[in-house]
Chains A and B, each alone.
Chain A
Amino acid sequence: MTAGRLGWAITDGWVMTGRNMRHVIRSPEEIVLYFSLPIMFVLVFGYVFGSGMAVPGDGSYREFLLPGVFVMTMLYGLGATASQIAVDAGRGVVDRFRSLPMARSALLTGRAGADVLRALLELSVLVVCGLLVGWRWRDGLGDALLAVGLILLLRVALTWVGILLGLLVPNPDTVSVIVFPLAFPLTALSNVFVAPELLPDWLGAVAAWNPLSATVAAARELFGNPGIGGDSWAAQHALLLAVGWPVLLIAVVAPLAVRRYQRLSR
């Protein structure tokens, strides 16, 4: 790819990001819906179940919970990614894009760009919400921003999963139905709500190696929130895994998604 082509690919991706953000602005009710779920989780798990929940070591359950909710919100964002891509691919507008002299990658990179911007918006709301219920970052702003960076990295990886999903199931209604049953067990079998060492052995191992857990554990460490540690190798190397898992996911899924997208010219 020459420099000129790369330049256009970036410009076109940015223009498509702008297009996708205009969609958000034109349907704000969707954003409200996406915020309401994680906020509800903070309130329900933090206050209703939280009183009966234990945190290894010592510390507030709500402070333990918040990094988990940040990551869970990133996971549920995958549903929006998938259904938006399915909407685009299923309508005539994709033919318009494909008949323009724009970079072919822009439909996908524009989606990823818009999803990261959206994720930033969602995280901002959740951070405010977290501060209101007593969550704090305790190890300085630098580490906190690093944690946010890791959470966004996971979001980028999940975006590609969503893109692939949206291209495989090119019907937006189907997508929204299948995302929840995929996403919910993934959060339940992780350290989002419960520390893995409090689970039965085999479940704890599954939860500790869950890619979501890596990012959550790393975020807890960097925010200085309780619930860090555990004996497993995965728990000991949370930071490494929080980078490794998303990078691996992108390396595997992004090429599959791109190939699937190119096969639209069947």
Chain B
Amino acid sequence: MNHETPAVVADGLRKTYGRTHALDGFDLTVPAGSVCGLLGPNGAGKTTAVRALATLLRFDGGHARVAGYDVTRDPERVRAAIGLTGQYAAVDETLSGRQNLVLFGRLRHLPVRVARRRADELLDQFGLADAADRSAGTYSGGMRRRLDLAASLITRPRVLFLDEPTTGLDPRSRNGLWDAVRSLVAEGTTVLLTTQYLEEADQLADRISVVDAGRVVAEGTSAELKARSGADRIELVVRDAGHLPAAARVVERVAGAPVTLDREIRQLSAPVTDRITALADILRALRDAEVPVEDVVLRRPTLDEAFLHLTGHRAAGARERAEVAA
């Protein structure tokens, strides 16, 4: 595989369970050596996509190549090139940490001695040397997840799938895992990461694919996605909640977009396209309408808002309109 060949290509993957389309034309391209974040809510199809790409799940339609090999026709070559760390630590809980790593090394067809040496190296690297001979069932959640990640790295994978790797971890363990992922990437491993945490995608991923209802609905860098979700927002605080309806009418007319109200803090907000002009126009219009303004701020959308915008557009829009009407 040369560097022009993408590490992961999914082309129109489909997977149906009864009437549910878990994957519904899932397209994805991950360049070699990069980190791709699959971002989406529970049930969006992220895990299904990873399981399909990691040869664990047969899909009903479409094509996929991982590390240059066809997932359906050449699954064994794919398996030799990948590592997979799932949501739930996939280790043998009866065996010790060391026995686990030696076992997985031997099943990767390393000679016994090499498998043992590699197990020791990984136990050291992941801070598990002290617990190496305890059964994995006695490990804490963070230790188990580290063992699980170590098990994916016995031979350095060309493509590493991380399915919600930090779900349920405390911040310290999470940071440790992030560091481990970064150093792998520095050595040239391609990482496909699924996460529900925007922060995680923001921290680790070069590019983010937003997944919803079994397909990728948006793709880009974190900054691009923020920009694409529109629009900056203007937020205004009026002196008195009684002024809100009048202010909302004015802002809606000038900004040409639905307005969100929060009576508790006497705030209204609206998306704006041309920041400075909009700011000047809205303030002038409010002064003309004699609505006293206490505070005003312009801000860029968070990735959270981008996400909401990209996956739950209609629902969010409907709620905003309902609030304006109220």
- 11 additional A-B pairs beyond A23-B94, A93-B90, A101-B76, beta carbons within 8 Å, are A16-B107, A19-B99, A22-B94, A91-B88, A92-B89, A92-B90, A96-B104, A100-B79, A101-B80, A102-B109, A266-B58
Docked complex Cα distance between A93 and B104 (Å): 11
Closest B-chain residue to A263, C-beta based?
B58
> Which residues of chain A in 1-55 are interfacial with respect to chain B, using CB atoms and an 8 Å cutoff?
8, 11-12, 15-16, 19, 22-23, 26-27
Contact B95 A100 (CB under 8 A): no
Known: A15-B103, A19-B95. Is A8-B58 also a contact (CB below 8 A)?
no
Is B55 at the interface (CB under 8 A from chain A)?
yes
Docked complex Cα distance between A232 and B54 (Å): 56
- Interface code A88-101, partner B: CB below 8 Å = 1, 0 otherwise? 00011111111111
Distance between B113 CB and nearest chain A CB, rounded to angstroms: 14
Contact A23 B95 (CB under 8 A): yes
Is B257 at the interface (CB under 8 A from chain A)?
no
Known: A15-B103, A19-B103, A95-B90. Is A101-B95 also a contact (CB below 8 A)?
no
Closest A-chain residue to B112, C-beta based?
A15
List residues of chain A with CB within 8 A of the CB of B55.
98-99
Is A106 at the interface (CB under 8 A from chain B)?
yes
Contact A27 B94 (CB under 8 A): yes
List residues of chain B with CB within 8 A of the CB of A102.
107-109
Docked complex Cα distance between A265 and B58 (Å): 6
List residues of chain A with CB within 8 A of the CB of B82.
99
List residues of chain A with CB within 8 A of the CB of B90.
91-96
- Interface code B33-76, partner A: CB below 8 Å = 1, 0 otherwise? 00000000000000000010011111000000000000000001
Contact B103 A99 (CB under 8 A): no
Contact A99 B79 (CB under 8 A): yes
Contact A95 B107 (CB under 8 A): no
A interface residue numbers (CB < 8 A to B) = 8, 11-12, 15-16, 19, 22-23, 26-27, 91-102, 106, 265-266
Within 8 Å by CB of B84, from A11, A94, A96, lies A96
Closest A-chain residue to B84, C-beta based?
A99
Is B232 at the interface (CB under 8 A from chain A)?
no
- Interface code B82-116, partner A: CB below 8 Å = 1, 0 otherwise? 11101011111111000100011011110000000
Within 8 Å by CB of A22, from B54, B76, B99, B108, lies B99
Contact B84 A95 (CB under 8 A): yes
Known: A12-B107, A92-B89, A92-B90. Is A99-B56 also a contact (CB below 8 A)?
yes
Closest B-chain residue to A23, C-beta based?
B94
Most buried by B among A27, A97, A106: A97
Task: Please name 7 pairs of A and B residues whose Cβ atoms are closer than 8 Å in the assembled complex, sorted by A.
Answer: A19-B95, A26-B135, A92-B91, A95-B90, A102-B107, A102-B109, A265-B56
List residues of chain B with CB within 8 A of the CB of A19.
92, 95, 99, 103
List residues of chain B with CB within 8 A of the CB of A15.
103, 106-107
Contact B91 A93 (CB under 8 A): yes
Is B225 at the interface (CB under 8 A from chain A)?
no
Docked complex Cα distance between A99 and B79 (Å): 6
Contact A266 B57 (CB under 8 A): yes
Is B7 at the interface (CB under 8 A from chain A)?
no
List residues of chain B with CB within 8 A of the CB of A100.
79, 104, 107-108
Is B213 at the interface (CB under 8 A from chain A)?
no
Within 8 Å by CB of B54, from A11, A93, A99, lies A99
Contact A26 B109 (CB under 8 A): no
Contact B95 A106 (CB under 8 A): no
Distance between B223 CB and nearest chain A CB, rounded to angstroms: 33
Is B151 at the interface (CB under 8 A from chain A)?
yes
Most buried by A among B84, B89, B93, B103: B103
Docked complex Cα distance between A173 and B99 (Å): 26
Distance between A68 CB and nearest chain B CB, rounded to angstroms: 33
Known: A19-B95, A92-B88, A96-B90. Is A265-B57 also a contact (CB below 8 A)?
yes
Contact B56 A95 (CB under 8 A): yes
Docked complex Cα distance between A98 and B109 (Å): 14
Distance between B25 CB and nearest chain A CB, rounded to angstroms: 20
Docked complex Cα distance between A20 and B86 (Å): 23
Within 8 Å by CB of B108, from A92, A93, A94, A101, lies A101
List residues of chain B with CB within 8 A of the CB of A92.
86, 88-91
Docked complex Cα distance between A109 and B147 (Å): 26
Docked complex Cα distance between A93 and B89 (Å): 8
Docked complex Cα distance between A27 and B93 (Å): 12
- Interface code B10-44, partner A: CB below 8 Å = 1, 0 otherwise? 00000000000000000000000000000000000
Docked complex Cα distance between A163 and B35 (Å): 40
Closest B-chain residue to A96, C-beta based?
B90
Distance between B253 CB and nearest chain A CB, rounded to angstroms: 55
Contact B103 A91 (CB under 8 A): no
List residues of chain A with CB within 8 A of the CB of B95.
19, 22-23, 26
Contact A93 B56 (CB under 8 A): no
Within 8 Å by CB of B109, from A16, A23, A101, lies A101
List residues of chain A with CB within 8 A of the CB of B108.
100-102
Docked complex Cα distance between A15 and B92 (Å): 14
List residues of chain B with CB within 8 A of the CB of A95.
51, 56, 84, 86, 90
List residues of chain B with CB within 8 A of the CB of A8.
109
Within 8 Å by CB of B79, from A11, A12, A22, A101, lies A101
Contact B94 A26 (CB under 8 A): yes
Most buried by B among A11, A22, A23: A22
